Amino acid sequence: MLIQEVILENFMSYEYARVPLKPGINIVCGPNGAGKSSLLLAISVALGQSYTERSRKLSELIRWGKDQARITLILDNSKRSGRRPIPKVSKDQIFLTRILRRDGKYWFELDNVAVSKQEVDRLLAKLGVNPDNMLIIMHQNMVEQFTVLTPQEKLRMIEAAVGLEAYRENVLQAQKKLTRILSQEESINKLLESAEQTLKYWREQYDKLQEKRQLLAKRKFLEREMAWAEVSQRESTIKEAEAKLEKEMELVTKIEEEKRQTDNQLKMLLESLENAKRRLREELGALINLEREKAKNQAIITLCSQFINEAKILRENNLKMLKVENLSETINKAMEYLAVLDSNIQKSLLEINQLENRVDGYHAQILDSHVKSALLQYRIDNLKASIKGTIEEIEHLRVQLEAAIRRAEEKGPRVAVIKSPAEILEEIRVIDGFLSAFVGISDDVERMYESYSRLYLELKEKALEVAEHRKKAMEEIETRMYSWQTVIRKLLDSVNVEFQRIMSQLQAIGEVKLINEHDIEAAGIEILVGFKGGKPVPLNAYTQSGGERTTATMGLLLALQKHVRSPFRAVDEYDVHMDPKNRELIAQTLISVVKETGVQYLVITPSQIAITRDDVNVITVQNIEGKSIIKEVS
């Protein structure tokens, strides 16, 4: 049992009414216009149903002349097998109220506390009540409406009524998940393709960067080689200068030795000259003593001879200063005079002449030695000046070498140089020519290449991951689809057996079957019925008569009763088009099914049904002076 009592206040034709309901069948009967359907509409509105007859606004359901209507359902929350239907509410009764106002404001109350529709929906969902499902609450004309539903709509309605929406929802969620995954996979594949193209571009740029780096490395090595080549060249220059210095120093030593020997020889010559002069003076003294008289002439001759000899020695410098012709003439005159001298004097003169010649010879040799010594000293001075310059040059070259070594060490450790600087410089120029083609290639290329490489690998890994997710999603869909198909087949097999049994009691043939079961969106149920011995054909609004349609629909509804979750169900004027026999059979079947299921059922009918069972609650509704009144309850 779900609803113990319905309390109506200013709702449609009801001013105030309390309608108690019992477990099992509750039949509401009465003449047309009495307010029977209004009672079911009130229950539906209180349960939060969005349907209203002829799509009327909720404010139009308020009794004429009133500003507010109130529908209260007293729900049974007593313990069943030691447990309440709504465990969090510890009372046996729950008051669910819907208030409608003329100004368009509507709200729900639970035990006189305002609540949202979502809270009411959650409460009813726990009880399995869905007032919008016509298989649970079937208003007027819904029997006809059910026949025009598509097979897909009928199947979804049955799933909702029996509580199998979760299986469909699971499949749909898996399909949505697959759709998202497929969309994600497509997006990732597009990104992967774009990243691959971009990566290809950056890989080309990266290859150029590597080539540029190789050229730069080679150029750097050449610069290093060039620097050490300069060092080698300066070292060679220093070695040449040192070799030159060594030769110059050896030559100085040699020349100094030669000068020393020359100076020694000069000293000996000077001593010999002094000895010769001394002897000459002695000889002259003796001659003077012998030829005092001729001393003057002799002196003139001697002096003239000396002058002539000196002139020979000094001929290069003093030749122009001496008049040799005059001296010779004087000597000739003196010699003519001396020719007449004695033989003794001649002998002395001969000795003196020899001594003079020796002195002259010494003078010539001394002069040569002086010149040679001067020349040697000149060469020594020049060589020492050159040595000093060479030493200074070497020192300067060493400073330059040290600077060159420092510059070279900045380029790197020393390398063996086998090429000339000109050859190295030519190679650098060639490399610079190649490098000019890579001017726009910066080190950022490597960062971009690595970034896109990581992105590509991440996308590739993501693509594999999404592909795996797609595979799992498809497997999940297949599993969930199998579960859905299994429960639907099991349900429809059971319903079909019951439907065939009910239809056979009505002298008809019926079948319920699942169609398009492999496509959950296209899947539906097809209802086949045959009356009066006819071949079963699909139930629709055109093939069968109104009575046949309502009979077949009620047969299906009754066949579903064992599976519907809701503890409360209702149907309004299901038997309008039925013949008396079918009306009676359907009524008896309904009573029997409801008793077996133990649910609460509200049946609204304008017909007079002969009820003889004590477990059926009959409610009579009458309209007196515009007010619906519960006239009789038995």
pLDDT digits (tens, 9 = 90+) for 402-439: 999 998 888 889 888 888 888 889 999 999 998 888 88
> Is 597 a residue whose pLDDT tops 50?
yes
Give the single-character DSSP code of 80. B
Residue 326, Ramachandran bin (φ over 0: left; ψ between -120 and 50: alpha; else beta)? alpha
Determine contact, residues 564/601, Cβ cutoff 8 Å: no
- CB under 8 Å to 623, separation ≥6 — which residues? 13, 31, 33, 34, 35, 629
3-class state of residue 323 by DSSP: coil
108: tokens are 């729900």
Place of tokens 């106002």: 101
Which among 30, 38, 31, 29 is positioned nearest to 11, based on CA atoms?
38
> Is 49 a residue whose pLDDT tops 90?
no
Q: Computed over its alpha carbons, how large is the radius of gyration of the chain? A: 72
pLDDT in tens, 94-146: 999 999 999 888 999 999 999 999 999 988 888 888 888 888 888 877 877 88
pLDDT in tens, 463-513: 999 999 999 999 999 999 999 999 999 999 999 999 999 889 888 999 999
pLDDT in tens, 257-310: 999 999 999 899 899 989 988 888 888 887 777 667 666 666 677 787 777 777
Strands 93-101 and 508-515: unpaired
Give the single-character DSSP code of 30. -
Angle, alpha carbons 579-585-587 (nearest 5°): 100
Q: pTM for the complete prediction? A: 0.62
pLDDT in tens, 510-535: 999 999 999 999 999 999 999 888 89
- Residue ranges covered by each domain of the chain: 1-129+566-634
Which among 36, 37, 25 is positioned nearest to 612, based on CA atoms?
25
Give the single-character DSSP code of 377. H
Instruction: Give the helix/strand (H/E) hosting 72.
Output: strand 68-76
> Is 32 a residue whose pLDDT tops 60?
yes
604: tokens are 């609204």
Domain spanning 1-129+566-634, CATH class: alpha beta
Q: Which residues of 538-553 are buried (b: 16+ CB within 10 A; e: fewer)?
A: ebeeeebeebbbbbbb
Place of tokens 């979804």: 156
Give the single-character DSSP code of 634. -
SS (H, E, C) 258-322: HHHHHHHHHHHHHHHHHHHHHHHHHHHHHHHHHCCCCHHHHHHHHHHHHHHHHHHHCHHHHCCCC
Quote the CA–CA distance of 442 and 430 in Å, as a whole number: 20
Q: Which residues of 117-127 are buried (b: 16+ CB within 10 A; e: fewer)?
A: eeebbebbeeb
Strand order in the sheet with 627-633: 137-138, 568-572, 600-605, 24-29, 616-624, 627-633
Strands 568-572 and 137-138: parallel
Main-chain dihedrals φ then ψ at residue 573, nearest 5 degrees: 50, 55
Segment 39-61 shows an average pLDDT of: 79
